[in-house]
């Protein structure tokens, strides 16, 4: 009998989600490990300066995955791009909720000490395998990626979203045009090109000489 190839093809998104939904712990861990890095980059690009001063991106990612694992019954992705787009929508909700929480806390001086625990509770309570699944975050390439994401977060919203949707989420040009209210795929491409130029300019100003 021939030996089995240990380098088997990666499980499809649909199969992985189905197994996770059925309660398979190994599939749950694989789902988190596979998509954590991309969701983290979406979070960093969308957080904005105000929220970055109050929370770590990992806190938002953790809560995004907690929300995702509790709502897998609502999604039927046939391809990876569909699942990433769903994660991106969950990220928006988590960012909105976090900003709402922090702004409410600021209005009540007596509750200022509540700013930190929002992220701490979810991380401790749910023990997702995220921390161990992205060791390259400590490497120099990951640091450059982080800086790039934070530069992206400072771009005008339409330009930022053009890059996020196309590069991070994997949306097609037709969908980028539709979501950003552009009249054509060509207009979406032009917005994307302008955004790339502005992003590279911002990154070069930030990057040490």
Indicate the SS3 state at residue 116: coil
Angle at the Cα of 36 from the Cα atoms of 76 and 169, rounded to 5 degrees:
60
Q: Are 88 and 42 in contact (CB under 8 A)?
A: yes
Tell me, yes or no, whether 82 and 149 share the same domain. Answer: no
Residues 38-50: tens digit of each pLDDT = 999 999 999 888 8
Query: Tokens in use for 57?
Result: 């991106």
Tell me, yes or no, whether 144 and 123 share the same domain. Answer: no
Q: Are 176 and 165 in contact (CB under 8 A)?
A: yes
Q: Are 47 and 60 in contact (CB under 8 A)?
A: yes
Of residues 208, 64, 85, the one with CA closest to residue 147: 208
Q: At 127, give phi and psi (nearest 5°).
A: 50, 50
Q: Are 62 and 128 in contact (CB under 8 A)?
A: yes
Residue 2 lies in a domain: no
Residue 196 has what pLDDT? 94
Residue 5 lies in a domain: no
CATH number at residue 69: 1.10.1740.10
Of residues 55, 57, 18, the one with CA closest to residue 38: 57
Residues 29-75: tens digit of each pLDDT = 999 999 999 999 999 999 888 888 888 999 999 999 999 999 988 88
Residue 195 lies in a domain: yes
Residue 165 has what pLDDT? 93
Residue 67 lies in a domain: yes
Query: Tokens in use for 67?
Result: 């929300």
Indicate the SS3 state at residue 76: coil
- C-alpha distances out from residue 120 to 63, 116, 185, Å: 10, 7, 42
Tell me, yes or no, whether 122 and 197 share the same domain. Answer: no
Enclosing domain of residue 115: 12-127
Tell me, yes or no, whether 103 and 22 share the same domain. Answer: yes
Q: Are 55 and 99 in contact (CB under 8 A)?
A: no
Residues 102-117: tens digit of each pLDDT = 888 777 645 444 444 4
Residue 40 lies in a domain: yes
Residues 139-191: tens digit of each pLDDT = 577 788 888 898 999 999 999 999 999 999 989 999 999 999 999 999 999 99
Instruction: Count structural domains, the chain.
Output: 2
Chain centroid offset of residue 151 CA = 15
Tell me, yes or no, whether 27 and 121 share the same domain. Answer: yes
The 10 Å Cβ neighbour count of residue 179 is 15
Residue 133 lies in a domain: no
Orientation of helix 25-52 relative to helix 57-70, angle to 10°: 140
């Amino acid at each position: 009998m021939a030996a089995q190839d240990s380098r088997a093809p990666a499980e499809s998104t649909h199969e992985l989600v189905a197994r996770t939904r059925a309660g398979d712990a190994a599939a749950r861990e694989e789902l988190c490990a596979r998509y954590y890095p991309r969701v983290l980059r979406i979070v960093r690009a969308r957080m904005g300066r105000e929220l970055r001063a109050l929370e770590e991106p990992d806190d938002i990612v953790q809560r995004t995955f907690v929300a995702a694992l509790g709502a897998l019954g609502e999604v039927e992705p046939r391809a990876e791009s569909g699942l990433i787009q769903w994660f991106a929508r969950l990220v928006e909700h988590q960012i909105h909720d976090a900003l709402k929480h922090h702004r409410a806390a600021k209005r009540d001086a007596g509750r200022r000490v509540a700013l930190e625990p929002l992220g701490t509770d979810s991380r401790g309570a749910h023990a997702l395998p995220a921390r161990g699944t992205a060791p390259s975050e400590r490497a120099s390439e990951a640091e450059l990626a982080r800086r790039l994401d934070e530069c992206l977060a400072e771009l005008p919203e339409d330009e930022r979203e053009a890059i996020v949707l196309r590069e991070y989420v994997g949306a097609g040009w037709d969908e980028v045009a539709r979501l950003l209210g552009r009249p054509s795929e060509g207009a979406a491409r032009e917005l994307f090109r302008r955004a790339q130029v502005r992003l590279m300019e911002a990154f070069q100003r930030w990057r040490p000489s």
